[in-house]
Amino acid sequence: MKFSKLLLYAVLTFVGLIVIYPLLFVLMTSLRSRFDFIMDPFGFTTLHPSNYVNAWRIGRVGQYFFNSVVVTFTTLALQIVVISLASYALGKLKPWGYNIILSIILMMLFVTVEMITVPNYMTLRSAGLLNTRLGLILPYTAGTTGGLVMGTFILTNFFRALPKELDDAALIDGAGVYQIMTRVDLPLVLPALATLVIFNFNGVWSEFFWALITIRDESLKTLPLGLINFQSQFASDYGVLTAGLAILTVPIVVVYLFFSRYFIANISAGALKG
Tens digits of per-residue pLDDT, 201-214? Answer: 988 998 998 999 99
- Higher-pLDDT residue of 129 and 266 is 129
- Per-residue pLDDT, averaged over 172-179, amounts to 84
What is the b/e burial string over 59-93, where b = at least 16 CB atoms within 10 angstroms of the residue's CB? bbbebbbebbeebbebbbebbbebbbebbbbbbbe
- Which pLDDT score, from 0 to 100, does residue 79 have? 92
Q: Report CA-CA distances (Å) from 259 to 193, 195, 255.
A: 10, 8, 6
| Cβ atoms 189, 158 nearer than 8 A | yes
Burial of 224: CB neighbours in 10 Å, binned 0-12, 13-18, 19+ = middle
Burial of 134: CB neighbours in 10 Å, binned 0-12, 13-18, 19+ = middle
- Per-residue pLDDT, averaged over 104-123, amounts to 85
- Higher-pLDDT residue of 243 and 235 is 243
- Which pLDDT score, from 0 to 100, does residue 44 have? 67
Cα–Cα distance measured from residue 86 to residue 150, given in angstroms and rounded to the nearest whole number: 12
- Which pLDDT score, from 0 to 100, does residue 270 have? 41
pLDDT at 124 over 70: yes
Cα–Cα distance measured from residue 133 to residue 138, given in angstroms and rounded to the nearest whole number: 9
pLDDT at 134 over 90: yes
Cα–Cα distance measured from residue 272 to residue 181, given in angstroms and rounded to the nearest whole number: 24
Q: What is the pTM of this model?
A: 0.84
Cα–Cα distance measured from residue 129 to residue 44, given in angstroms and rounded to the nearest whole number: 47
pLDDT tens digit sequence for 248-270: 888 888 888 887 766 655 544 44
pLDDT tens digit sequence for 84-112: 999 999 988 888 888 898 888 888 878 88
CB neighbourhood size of 144 (10 A): 21
Cα–Cα distance measured from residue 185 to residue 182, given in angstroms and rounded to the nearest whole number: 6
Q: Where do the domains of the chain lie, and which CATH numbers do they carry?
A: 62-237+259-273 (1.10.3720.10)
Burial of 187: CB neighbours in 10 Å, binned 0-12, 13-18, 19+ = exposed
- DSSP per residue over 31-71, as a string? TS-HHHHHH-TT------THHHHHHHHTT-HHHHHHHHHHH
